[in-house]
A and B are shown apart, each in its own frame.
Chain A
Amino acid sequence: MAKEHTVKIEAHDFNFHYGAKQALFNINLSIPERRVTAFIGPSGCGKSTFLRSINRMNDLIDGTRVEGHMVVDGTDVYDKDVDVVTLRRRIGMVFQKSIPFPKSIFENITYGLTLNKKVSKSDLEEVVETSLRKSALWEEVKDRLHNSALSLSGGQQQRLCIARAVAINPEILLMDEPCSALDPISTGKVEELIAELKDTYTIVLVTHNMQQAGRISDQTGFFLMGSLIEFDRTRTIFTSPAMKETEDYITGRFG
């Protein structure tokens, strides 16, 4: 574990149920600040469920239930007095499919900012430029900020979604398979971006792509059938995993 970094997110005996079906079993882990943490594992292993539990996106699904603790900055996010809306403003999220709002590029980025307060036009313009620069999209779109976001290519749309998440200045960025719908070149750009963003944000990444986890993450967790099998430095996971299941999975002998 990267001891020199403070812990940002902690799960204690975290269980998650979709109705009668339990999806996560006693998850315990600590995610350090300003690092990239990747979760790998086969489809349906619970890695996305875990990610979506951090900003309580699973609340939207009828009949879900949690036990245990999910602690962000020392506060259990499932505490009764936690305001979900405020929580989600601190925890940005990028989804598998790039889903810009059918609005202009500019409006997409300012969406989160203008929800609850009036922001002056010059401040908005500044945020748009900073966010687009951070997401390495500024040069490509600076002349057409008021065009529809849907006119961008798939890779550009995904970087726009990252810019949109970054614009509200969160502390944590959750990424749910952000490159699974992208071509290799766009994937490369998003990966470079993640490497840059980790200086500012705590990044938690779910990926199907083990090479990707190996390339960009500092530590990796392996989920299998709702349990966290192993969680360690990425190098350790990929070179000398402690558990047989992990080794089988990363060497492709899974199944």
Chain B
Amino acid sequence: MMPNAAHSVPLPKRLLGFFAVLIAATAAFAVIGVILGMVGTFVFNGGSGVTWTFLSEFPRNSNTEGGIWPALAGTTFLVLLMTILGVPIGTATAIYLSEFARQDSWFARSVRFAVNTLAGVPSIVFGLFGVGFFVQFMGSGIDGFLGTSSFGDGSLIWASATLAVLTLPVVIVSVEESLRTVPRDLREASLALGATRWQTITKVVLPNAVTGILTGSILAVGRGAGEVAAIIFVGVTYSSESLPSAVTEKFMHLGYHLFVLSTQSPDVDKTLPLQYATTLVLLGLTFLLNLTAILIRSRLRKR
């Protein structure tokens, strides 16, 4: 006679299992609760503040009135430029790591080590690096060479470059992951037809990895859009009369604007509605970017 499996487990063990599940489920609910609570707070307090005028107007009266248009536009310029600078380098690195490098070579291992380290560096350190390397070394160098004086100060281009470096790990990891999901068989089929390695990469591997490259870029943009610490030294400004007209000009930024509103304003309490509304816009932007990443991924996966 086979005893029923459920009865053969002693009661204490079954109780233990029950509590384990209970704790895990509670933790999961807590996560949802935190997110809902956070989003709820900002929607409740800031929802009415997000109007077309708020989005399209310049701040007035020392940032205590008006809208966030230059910060919204500045953030957009910043992440666009960051993407243009960072994604090609990240993609190229990922292609090298996945397609060309011998996996056990010291060089590949060093690159991987660098990528992992980069991912764990606090963002303020990137900011300092941006000042030291991009602004003072490269910018001043370019100025000295061209005889100009526009590059040797923090600006849109150096902030974008700093963020590009900061988001490199995100791009590299997600692109490399998607390159690795392209079946080895597909590469071999291409090579067996007399394609070179490079042809195989451009014609077979990359088209199959396009999802990963897009998601990687969008995740990088999402990360970059919300980043403040890394750019406070390299070109962001708390107030601007006009949108930047060149990449060597200073710019406003949503996250930094929020910081300014909540700490640097002459009347912080008066700016509270603005803070809630700005936060909601920033949250919405990040959410939208992540949602786009998810949609692209599932769309292309179905294909």
Q: Which residues from chain A sit less than 8 Å from chain B, CB to CB? A: 55, 57, 60, 62, 85-86, 88-89, 92-93, 95, 97, 99, 101-102, 111-112, 115-116, 161, 164-165, 168
Contacts of A97 in B (CB 8 A): 185
B31 to chain A, nearest CB (A): 37
Q: How far is the CA of A111 from the CA of B204 in the complex (A)?
A: 10
Among the stretches B4-12, B83-91, B189-197, B232-240, the one at the interface with A is B189-197
CB-contact partner of B192 in A62, A86, A88, A102, under 8 A? A88
Nearest neighbor of B102 in chain A, beta-carbon distance: A62
Q: A101-B186, A102-B208 known; A111 and B193 CB under 8 Å?
A: yes
Contact yes or no, A115 B192, CB < 8 A: no
Q: How far is the CA of A57 from the CA of B104 in the complex (A)?
A: 20
Give chain B interface residues in 91-124, CB to chain A under 8 Å: 102-104
Q: How far is the CA of A168 from the CA of B193 in the complex (A)?
A: 7
Contact yes or no, B185 A115, CB < 8 A: no
Contact yes or no, B208 A168, CB < 8 A: no
B267 CB within 8 Å of chain A? no
B188 to chain A, nearest CB (A): 6
Contact yes or no, A57 B188, CB < 8 A: yes
Contact yes or no, B193 A164, CB < 8 A: yes
Contact yes or no, B193 A88, CB < 8 A: yes
B3 CB within 8 Å of chain A? no
A177 to chain B, nearest CB (A): 13
Q: How far is the CA of A161 from the CA of B193 in the complex (A)?
A: 10
Contacts of A57 in B (CB 8 A): 188, 191-192
Q: Is the interface of B mostly helix, strand, loop or mixed?
A: helix
Contacts of A89 in B (CB 8 A): 193-194
Contact yes or no, A92 B188, CB < 8 A: no
Contact yes or no, A88 B191, CB < 8 A: yes
A32 to chain B, nearest CB (A): 22
Contacts of A102 in B (CB 8 A): 207-208, 303
Contacts of B207 in A (CB 8 A): 102
Contacts of A93 in B (CB 8 A): 188-189, 192
Nearest neighbor of B207 in chain A, beta-carbon distance: A102
Contacts of A86 in B (CB 8 A): 194
A21 to chain B, nearest CB (A): 16
Contacts of A161 in B (CB 8 A): 189
Contacts of B183 in A (CB 8 A): 99
Q: A62-B104, A102-B208 known; A111 and B190 CB under 8 Å?
A: yes
Q: How far is the CA of A57 from the CA of B187 in the complex (A)?
A: 11
Nearest neighbor of B186 in chain A, beta-carbon distance: A99
Q: How far is the CA of A60 from the CA of B99 in the complex (A)?
A: 10
B199 CB within 8 Å of chain A? yes
Q: A62-B103, A99-B183, A102-B208 known; A115 and B188 CB under 8 Å?
A: no
Contacts of A101 in B (CB 8 A): 186, 189-190, 204
Nearest neighbor of A116 in chain B, beta-carbon distance: B194
B203 CB within 8 Å of chain A? yes
Q: How far is the CA of A62 from the CA of B99 in the complex (A)?
A: 12
Other than A112-B193, A115-B195, give 14 A-B pairs with Cβ distance below 8 A.
A57-B188, A57-B192, A60-B188, A88-B192, A88-B193, A89-B193, A89-B194, A95-B185, A95-B188, A95-B192, A102-B207, A111-B193, A115-B193, A164-B193
Contacts of B187 in A (CB 8 A): 60
Q: How far is the CA of A92 from the CA of B192 in the complex (A)?
A: 6
Q: How far is the CA of A195 from the CA of B19 in the complex (A)?
A: 66
Contacts of B104 in A (CB 8 A): 62
Instruction: Give 15 A-B contacts (CB < 8 Å), ordered by A residue.
Output: A60-B187, A62-B102, A62-B104, A85-B194, A88-B192, A92-B192, A99-B183, A99-B189, A111-B195, A112-B193, A112-B195, A115-B193, A115-B195, A115-B196, A115-B199
